[in-house]
Amino acid sequence: MAMIVETNFFGDFEQADDPKVLIIPAPYEYTTPYIKGTKNAPQAILNASKHLAAFDEELWVDIAKIGINTSSFTACEFVSNKSKQPFFEIEQAVRDAVINGSMPVILGGEHSITIGSMKAIYDLFPDVSILHFGARCNLKHTVMENRYSAECTFRRINETMPEIKITQVGIRSLSGEEADWLETNNPNIEIYFGRDKNRWNIADILTNLSKNVYLSFNFNALDPSVMPSTSIPEPAGFNFEQACDIIKNVCAFKEIVGMDFVDLAPTPNLNSQDFTAAKLIYKAIGYSFARELGAFEEEPSSELVQS
């Protein structure tokens, strides 16, 4: 069943003439491994965002005042080993957004779209690092004879852009193949496993990140009690506040140059998941521009993530 189109814009507020943020819906889905439906996520998030309160009670500002626009949907052809320019459409949309002065916020779709957005971001910000929230590390070499499967996302990024430091937080599952590759290749990847999250210090995570950071948030980073609607809902994930706390601290000390939010698989008649996704995205935008909005009068503390 096709997703009902209630709105083509993120948020029930006026589109900005000179936006600081450009929402880019990218409903690409071909290789999700388990639960299907991530292609419906961009529209579901836009629909839910109509009901967001523009004023944020934590930052005590109207986040929308920063200027948020929404682009048309970015259609991307199926990407396989034979593709000459993998995810070119997404790469171009992200590049155009940055050149025109907007921070790109991509709504997936499956996680493989990050490959396209990172090509553009790396060209424009060569010192960038990646902060990946997710349950799985997505470091497989190939899946179903496709090297561009969602489960291969960060393996391809590491392979084509090895200078980029990738920090993954919340990982709760990986394959033997991925474990062997990590042990034998010593890639530029740091993993914070979900089982240890009550002992993390956010300051340690910050030291792994460069000044410019690209945030890639897979909704399976959240616990299924918070977010059951993902392609693979892994137990023992973050609650909403834990995820926000890390994002807030990163935004306080680093510069966010782009974000993507992927792997929401909307469940019919369960609108709370779509709204949770929209709320997290809106708060992440607020954290990214908190200083310009007049928030962050005091720096967030780098304390342990609490359960």
The tens digit of pLDDT for each residue in 94-118 reads: 999 999 999 999 999 999 999 999 9
Give me 279's structure tokens: 């709320």
Per-residue pLDDT at 17: 86
Three-class SS of residue 170? strand
Per-residue pLDDT, 3? 78
Q: Are strands 61-62 and 129-133 parallel, antiparallel or unpaired?
A: unpaired
Q: Where are the domains of the chain?
A: 21-293
Q: Which fold has domain 21-293?
A: Arginase; Chain A (3.40.800)
Residue 146 is encoded by which pair of tokens? 């496709």
- What's the confidence (pLDDT) of residue 306? 44
Alpha-carbon gap, residue 69 to 104, rounded angstroms:
10
- State how far the Cα of 226 lies from the Cα of 2, in Å rounded to an integer: 25
Q: Is 160 helix (H, G, I), strand (E, B) or coil?
A: helix
Question: CA triplet 119, 244, 215: central angle to 5 degrees?
Answer: 5
pLDDT beneath 70, residues of the chain? 1, 296-307
Torsion (CA) 182, 151, 98, 297 in degrees, nearest 10: -70
The predicted pLDDT at position 298 comes to 56
Q: What is the largest CA-CA distance in the chain?
A: 52
Note the pLDDT of residue 297.
60
